Amino acid sequence: MTLLEWVLVALSLLGNYWVVKKDRKGYLAWIISNIGWIVFGLHYGHYGQVAMFGAYTAFSIWGFIRWSRDLQRR
């Protein structure tokens, strides 16, 4: 694995940790790491991976927005 892959894996796992702790930073970590995985997948021609991480990015943005709205309502 390349250094970039290890950084993206670490950022993805950190995002999971933060979401479990109910911290919105998790979604931001996921958005950044997912974009990284998209770039990586495009570079290596892994288009299925690009599609998957594109969907993950959309879900992460949605989750971040939902959590932000929920916090404002409190």
For the stretch 8-52, pLDDT in tens is 999 999 999 999 999 999 999 999 999 999 999 999 999 999 999
- Domain coordinates of the chain in residue numbers? 11-73
Give the separation between CA 1 and CA 13, rounded to whole angstroms.
16
State residue 33's pLDDT score: 98
| 20, two tokens | 């479990």
**Average pLDDT over every residue of 3-9:** 95
| 23, two tokens | 């911290």
Q: When comparing pLDDT for 71 and 59, which is higher?
A: 59
Q: Is the pLDDT at 61 greater than 80, yes or no?
A: yes
